[in-house]
Amino acid sequence: MSLELRPNEYVLIEVHYSYKVFVFPMLLMCIGILMFIAVWSGVFEGVDVHWLRRGFKMSSLMAGLSCVLFVPYIFKRLDNKLKIYAVTNQRVYIRKGIINIHEKDIPLAKINDVQVVQTLGQRMFGAGNIVIQVGNDKSNISVQDVNRPREFRDTIISAIYEWEKEEESRQREYQQSQYDNGYNDGGYNQGGYNQGGYGQGYNQGSYNQGGYGQGYNQGGYNQGGYGQGYNQGGYNQGGYGQGGYNQGGYNDDYNNSGGYNPNRF
């Protein structure tokens, strides 16, 4: 059975049951095979068993018992095929059971600790138990009798480390985007130096339009102040230009009318 992956998710490692869990079922299956061979060869032919005042053929009983001894092995194989112990770049997923299904979906962000517990028998078969401590839960999650337990644990730790690095990178990008939006939209570009401050405020409404801009070029020094006031209506028109020294002042009265104007005094 395969794990259904989420968007941008991939499997890092998937482990199965160790051969240790199959030792006892295989032993029972071997006994069942021997019993079936004995029945097939006729060892129990003619042997009857009386129980509760009823007679049973030994060959029939042994054949039925040999079939029953196959069940544990078949059950364990089916359980191993249907269960999922997997680590992805986003979570640890545990699914086990044939009739009653138990599932655990553990995000990497909630894992606090991962331990490997091995008995002597498990060490002989390279098996072990994985104990996962999640959040503030008092009960730990245990994955028993899996192969490659240390590799499974190390993969979880590496996945958590990589996830934390990616999360920090996403946080930095988000903060940078927020800073850029604040800098571009409401700060220096739109609402600050460009539009409302030194931007459009400086170029259009402050130095250009109403201040030193258009105020300086049109309505300040150029139009109403030192501009037209200085160039047109000040020194040029009404001051030193036209109405001052040039037209109505020293130029018309003194220079243009012939020096000392006799009508001037």
Total domains, the chain: 1
pLDDT tens per residue across all 265 residues of the chain:
678 898 989 999 999 999 999 999 999 999 999 999 988 888 877 777 777 677 778 888 888 999 999 999 999 999 999 999 999 999 999 999 888 999 999 999 999 999 999 999 999 999 999 999 987 666 688 999 999 999 999 999 999 999 899 888 888 888 888 887 765 554 444 444 444 444 343 444 334 443 343 434 443 444 443 434 344 434 444 334 333 444 344 444 444 444 444 444 3
**Which residue range is the domain that position 44 belongs to?**
11-159
Q: Produce one character per residue of 239-261: b if its CB has 16 or more CB atoms within 10 Å, e if not.
A: bbbbbbbbeebebeeeeeeeeee
Instruction: Please check whether residue 36 lies inside any domain of the structure.
Output: yes
The radius of gyration of the chain's CA atoms, rounded to the nearest angstrom, is 47
Would 209 be classed as within a structural domain?
no
Please check whether residue 229 lies inside any domain of the structure: no
Residue 114 lies in a domain: yes
Q: Look up the pTM and report it.
A: 0.61
Q: Is the dihedral of CA 50, 52, 53, 55 positive or negative?
A: negative
Q: How far apart are CA 191 and CA 261, in angstroms?
A: 62
Instruction: Say what angle helices 23-41 and 58-68 make with each other, to 10 degrees.
Output: 150
Q: Is residue 238 part of a domain?
A: no
Does residue 256 lie within any of the structural domains? no
206 found inside a domain: no
DSSP 217-253: IIIIBTTTSSBIIIIITTTTTTSTTTTTTTTTSHIII
Name the one residue in this structure whose structure tokens are 């009404």.
238
Q: Considering the domain boundaries, does residue 192 fall inside one? A: no
DSSP 28: H
- Indicate the DSSP class of residue 203: I
Is the distance from CB of 90 to CB of 110 less than 8 angstroms?
Answer: no
